[in-house]
Amino acid sequence: MKGSSTKCWIRTMAQIEKKGGLLRKASSTKKPLKEKVVLMYDEIFKREDPAKNCPRFWEELFLMKVNLEYLEAKLESVDGEELMKLKDNINSLFQHCLVSLNEEHQIKVVNALQTLCALIRGVHQKNKPTSGFDIINMLMGFDKADLRMKNLVESLDSLLCGDGSESLKSLCLKLLLCLVTVTDNISQNTILEYVMINSIFEAILQILSVASSRVQHGYDAVVLLALLVNYRKYEGMGLVISQALTEYNRQYKDKEEESQGGFFSALTNMVGNMFIADVEEKISVQTNEAILLALYEAVHLNRNFITVLAQSHPEMGLVSLPTTPVLPTTPTTPLGTTPPSSDVMNSTEFPLDPNLHTSNLLITFLKYCSIVMQDTKDEHRLNSAKLCLIILTCIAEDQYANAFLHDDNMNFRVNLHRMPMRHRKKAADKNIPSRPLVCAVLDLMVEFMVTHMMKEFPMDLYMRCVQIVHKLICYQKKCRVRLHYTWRELWSALINLLKFVMSNETVLLGKHNIFALALMVVNLFNVFITYGDTFLPTPSSYDELYYEIIRMHQVFDNLYSMVLRLSTNSGQWKEPASKVTHALINVRAIINHFNPKIESYAAVNHISQLSEDQVLEVVRSNYDTLTLKLQDGLDQYERYSEQPKEAAFFKELVRSISLNVRKNLAVNTLSQEILLKEFSSIS
């Protein structure tokens, strides 16, 4: 320091020495020297203006390396009432941070960004019960909030869109994440009102559409978008993002550059790679709800995103990537906060090898689902499984997605992960056939059904699974798609599900409406019975449906007895049980029609136990005399709607993600040496 600044700091430090004896000579009792920036922070936490006696105080402050820990600890140590008395100095610190963001000296800009992060997080600790208004007043004052936030967002936008340092852009995104997560309930964060007014979306989209910046900042940008889209989404704010993405997609399509870049393909590669990371073994699975939420918002708010699910590329796991150190098997970072490694993020181009399997975002997502859905006992994995099924529900309702899923000319090998079970062997990867992707979706639903019949019965997830299957079948019936699939596995899973529900009637009825699930399952069979001849692949498939119903008739008989018993009582289950009774009419008609004929055939031919072929022969010979009742509405379903049914789930999910992002946001990871080296390379 030179001139008056040097003199004022000599005077200030002399006063501190006199008061605290920091520099007096003593052996064992002397206090450690405080670094200069700490002394300057202490001046801010006095009621006097720190620049009163030192005019260059603020200019000098932002040349000092930030001590985030001390500044946040200082804010935490001051009680709320005392902090209000320091409001003018806090406002000044905030304002001078904004001034420094526009400095040419980039060290000042970095220090200003880090200081803002510490300041926002520190003030937040004093305002947890509030909705955010106190935070605004403490940071910048109500009267100047509009101007201050406008200046802040404009500065961040300029830094994010400029040609400057990648480290600066990283800090800008982390500052935005600090702002977004400053309150537990994102919709009560009034600071975001200013972020929305002074739009930052174009800057975020630009980051995601440029390969180099996507590698560095893609994870933070996607999490930021996922959180912003949930800000007062039911008041229309979510439409802003939807319109922005739709417009970007239109321009992207017009230029016919889908394979070269753009926001959608960027998100495809990035989200896909995030799903792949750390999921080989069940013990190492770490759910990433932030990225799942981003995918959900893209699929739900913008149907054009469905096209991205189909974009093919060589399968990631089969491509040789750079060797990286082995990661620990136990996750070390909490839920929703782990970005992929830069090596994985950067692997957007692959060697062209005709022997490689092709993949796409949907395949990667299905594999991820198959792992997450194995273990639903943990709350986070339960939420992730639910979100996966909600995303699949949106996909199963979409006409374009269904056309792609059922396209017989688009076949893929999808190696879904299966839960280890004693009674079955692990399927060899090489035995996986190449099939339309809808087969993998059905496999995933069947796998869930057969592996989660347990005491803590996940009723909600089962309902969603059956609904997804129903929606896919409705598309097949409507478009007369004859899918070559092992339908018996689905029918067997559904029948065993009914069997489990009845075996645990007493326990389950105390927690769930089991009749809603039973009705869905029975009506799914009714769709096959009524319309199966229009979409099952062969006549023999339809015969096999009847064979399975007849073979497992005891399950349907027991179900009928149970619902008949409850429908004739005046209890709370009378009406839902009656619906199941009515739905069973055709199933019972099949059983009552064919069983006597099978018994007669066995008696005439003196056979104690008929083979499958013999039963099928009886079935084929007696279709003509079977009478079935036409049931209405079997191919109709209620379309997914987030509000009001799922509003509470997403509100809590966003709160959880926001808390974890705030908790694990690292803004002090840049050393001065790295920054100086980086800045020196910028022309």
- Determine the distance from the C-alpha atom of residue 73 to the mean position of all C-alpha atoms in its chain, rounded to a whole number: 33
For the cut 60, the answer to whether the pLDDT of residue 106 exceeds it is: yes
pLDDT attached to residue 361: 80
- Model confidence at 675, pLDDT cuts 50, 70, 90, reads low
Strands 358-359 and 411-412: unpaired
pLDDT attached to residue 11: 46
Backbone φ and ψ for 42, nearest 5 degrees, come out as: -60, -35
Q: Which residues contact 34 (CB under 8 A, 6 or more apart)?
A: 22, 42
Strand-pairing partners, residue 412, are: 435
407-429 pLDDT tens trace: 999 899 888 888 877 666 655 55
Percentage of the chain exceeding pLDDT 70: 75
643-654 pLDDT tens trace: 899 999 999 999
498-537 pLDDT tens trace: 999 999 999 999 899 999 999 999 999 999 999 999 999 9
Q: Give the C-alpha distances (Å, rounded to integers) separating 251 from 199, 210, 570.
A: 20, 15, 62
HEC letters along 277-288: CCCCCHHHCCCC
Percentage of the chain exceeding pLDDT 90: 44
List the one residue out of 408, 400, 403 whose CA is nearest residue 303: 400
Helix (H, G, I), strand (E, B) or coil at 123: helix
Q: How many CB atoms sit inside 10 A of residue 671's CB?
A: 10
Q: Which amino acid type is present at position 285?
A: V
Where b means 16+ CB within 10 Å and e means fewer, 70-91 reads: bbbebbeeeeeeebeebeebbb
- Model confidence at 21, pLDDT cuts 50, 70, 90, reads very low
Q: Give the C-alpha distances (Å, rounded to integers) separating 527 from 300, 405, 530, 532, 605.
A: 27, 20, 5, 7, 34
pLDDT attached to residue 312: 67
pLDDT attached to residue 368: 84
Q: DSSP string of 357-404?
A: PEE-HHHHHHHHHHHHTT--SSHHHHHHHHHHHHHHHHHHH-HHHHHH
pLDDT attached to residue 355: 45
Find out whether 491 and 547 touch, Cβ atoms under 8 Å.
Answer: no
pLDDT attached to residue 7: 44
Q: How many CB atoms sit inside 10 A of residue 166's CB?
A: 14
For the ranges 33-47, 126-140, 311-325, 426-440, the maximum mean pLDDT occurs at: 33-47
- Residue located via tokens 């689902």: 369
* pLDDT averaged over every residue in the chain: 80
169-199 pLDDT tens trace: 999 999 999 988 888 888 778 888 888 888 7
Strand-pairing partners, residue 164, are: none
For the ranges 148-152, 229-233, 243-247, the maximum mean pLDDT occurs at: 148-152
- Model confidence at 322, pLDDT cuts 50, 70, 90, reads very low
pLDDT attached to residue 681: 59
Mean pLDDT of 9-25: 40
pLDDT attached to residue 374: 87
For the cut 50, the answer to whether the pLDDT of residue 234 exceeds it is: yes
Read off the pTM.
0.73
